[in-house]
Amino acid sequence: MSETNQQNLSQTNGMTGMTGMANNTSNNSSNSQAAPELKNVLAHVKSVEDHNENLQKKLLEADARINSLSAKTREGMRSALNTLMKKWMDAVETKDEGVKDNFKCGLESLVENSNEENGVWQMMVAASSLHERQEHNLDKLRLENSDLKQKVDGMYSNADTRVVGDKRTRTEESTQDLWGDFAKSMGQF
């Protein structure tokens, strides 16, 4: 910048400063009236800042609590996915194993988002639980069936083992006219 430009600039700044000083002296009386209003505005801004700071702290605490709860929910959902639902998915037969993999990826995304309320997740939990109960009942029925087969093969395999106590043996005469004998005995009444 040239020296003349600098001199002009300093003269202009000096004049502005003088004008500002003149304005300040004339506005002193109005400033004394505006000072209480300015104090009220500053006090209000301070209280809003304090309130904002308190809300920020509460928000951070709530976020931390939500994250810890989400972590617990994720752990429970992951456990259900890796145990209960895995058995069900392994038992289901599909034409393409890629379908199972895609389905499992979708469930894993639900786990990552801790989305227990999702309808797909709830239906999977219900279907997996039903599968496990039915599998348990089927195992129980298989055991009962094998026990009964052993009893039939062992205890009731021949006529001598089936007769308990004093029973009369069946004669040919009594089996020939069973219904006739029944009618005669009913006719006596």
Per-residue model confidence (pLDDT) at position 53: 95
- The more confident residue out of 104 and 2 is 104
Q: How many Cβ atoms sit within 10 Å of the Cβ of residue 111?
A: 21
Distance CA 21, CA 52 (A): 38
- Tell me which DSSP letter residue 163 carries: -
Question: Is residue 23 classed exposed, middle or buried when 0-12, 13-18 and 19+ CB atoms within 10 A define those classes?
Answer: exposed
What's the whole-model pTM score? 0.44
Question: What pLDDT does 1 receive?
Answer: 47
The rounded distance, in Å, linking the Cα atoms of 104 and 81 is 9
What is the enclosing helix (H) or strand (E) of 114?
none
Quote the percentage of the chain above a pLDDT of 90: 14
More confident position, 60 or 151: 60
* Position 26 pLDDT exceeds 60: no
